[in-house]
Amino acid sequence: MKNSVMSWTWFHKLGSPKWFYGISARLLPWLAVAAALLIGIGVVWGLAFAPPDYQQGNSFRIIYIHVPAAMLAQSCYVMMAVAGVVGLVWKMKIADVALQCAAPIGAWMTALALATGAIWGKPTWGSWWVWDARLTSMLILLFLYFGLIALGQAISNRESAAKACAVLATVGVINIPIIKYSVEWWNTLHQGATFTLTEKPAMPAEMWLPLLLTALGFYCFFGAVLLARMRLEVLKREARSSWVREQLVQHLGQEGAR
C-alpha cells in the first residue's frame, strides 16, 4: 500500500510551481546538451555519410529534419491534449502553463515540417504542394496551433483562457490519428512511415540511424525549449509569492555580478 502512495507523490509535486522551478533548472542543461549532440551528429552523418537514395538521389537527405519536425509537431499536440485533460480534471496550474508554452513551439515545428516537405516535394513529386490527405491534415494542425495561441491571448481571464484552450486542445487531438493514417486511408503521393514499432525500417541502417538521432535530438530540443519557456511563465504568474521574490533577487544578483 505504501508503494502506491509513494508513486503518486511526483504527480502532486508537479502541482507545485516552486518544485517545478527547481527540478527544471537541473533538467534543462542535460536536455540542451543532449539535443545539441544528437542533432549535430545526426545531421552531419545524414548529410555527408549516409548513402544517397537509389531513386531520389540526394534530395532525400531532407528527411533528417523533415521527419523529426513532423513527429514533434504531432507529439507536441498530443502532449498539449494530455495537459488539457489534466488541467480540466485536476485543476493543475502547471498544466495550463505547459499548454500555453508548448503551442508556439508546436506551431513552429508544423510550419517547418510543411516548408521542408514542400522543398522536398518539388524535386521528388514535381510540385511544391498537392492537396492530398497528409499535407492537408498537417495544414489543419497548423491552424489548430494558431487557434490555440490566439485563444490563449484573446481571453484576459487566466482561468477561462485555460479552460477554453484545454477544451480546444482535447477536441483537436482527433486530427492526430487522421494525420497518422492519412497515408493508408487515402491515395497519396506521400510515402508511409519510416519508423514503426512492429517492423524493421525499409532502409539500411546507415540511412535510418542518423534519422533516429535527429528525431531523438528534436525531442530533447523540445524538452529544453519548453522548460525554458515554462520557467519564465511560472516566474511571471507566481510573481507575488515569496519564493519567486527570493529567486528574482538571486537572479538579479547574478546578473549584476557579471
Partner 1 sequence: MSFASFGDFLAMGHHGLYVWSAYGLCLAVLAINVAGPLLARRRYLQEEARRLRREKGK
Copy the grid coordinates of residue 236. 511571471
Smallest gap, in angstroms, from Cβ of residue 198 to partner 1?
Answer: 29
Smallest gap, in angstroms, from Cβ of residue 238 to partner 1?
Answer: 13
Instruction: Using the minimum distance from each CB to partner 1, give the nearer residue, 67 or 166.
Output: 67
Task: Count the alpha carbons within 13 Å of 91 in the hemisphere toward its beta carbon.
Answer: 2
Q: Is 41 in the site for partner 1 (CB under 8 A)?
A: no
Q: Which residues contact 104 (CB under 8 A, 6 or more apart)?
A: 145, 149, 229
# residues near partner 1 by CB under 8 A: 42
Smallest gap, in angstroms, from Cβ of residue 59 to partner 1?
Answer: 4
Smallest gap, in angstroms, from Cβ of residue 189 to partner 1?
Answer: 16
Copy the grid coordinates of residue 156. 484576459
Which range binds partner 1 by CB under 8 A, 13-21, 86-94, 177-185, 231-239?
231-239
Instruction: Using the minimum distance from each CB to partner 1, give the nearer residue, 169 or 221.
Output: 221
Q: Is 114 in the site for partner 1 (CB under 8 A)?
A: no
In our burial notation (b when 16+ CB lie closer than 10 A, e otherwise), range 2-16 reads: eeeeeeeeeeeebee
Instruction: Using the minimum distance from each CB to partner 1, give the nearer residue, 23 or 43.
Output: 43
Identify the residue among 76, 81, 225, 234 touching partner 1 (CB under 8 A).
Answer: 225
Burial class (CB in 10 A: 0-12, 13-18, 19+), 48: exposed
Backbone angles phi, psi at 174, to 5 degrees: -60, -25
Copy the grid coordinates of residue 201. 525500417
Which range binds partner 1 by CB under 8 A, 17-25, 114-122, 181-189, 197-205?
114-122
Q: Which of residues 75-94 bind partner 1 (CB under 8 A)?
A: none
Q: Which of residues 44-73 bind partner 1 (CB under 8 A)?
A: 47-52, 57-59, 61-62, 65-66, 69
Identify the residue among 3, 199, 255, 257 touching partner 1 (CB under 8 A).
Answer: 255
Instruction: Using the minimum distance from each CB to partner 1, give the nearer residue, 116 or 175.
Output: 116
Q: Is 229 in the site for partner 1 (CB under 8 A)?
A: yes
Copy the grid coordinates of residue 35. 539535443
Smallest gap, in angstroms, from Cβ of residue 57 to partner 1?
Answer: 5
Radius of gyration of the chain (CA): 21
What residue ranges bind partner 1 (CB under 8 A)?
A: 39, 43, 47-52, 57-59, 61-62, 65-66, 69, 104-105, 108-109, 111-112, 115-116, 119-120, 122-123, 221, 225, 228-229, 231-232, 235-236, 248-249, 251-252, 255-256
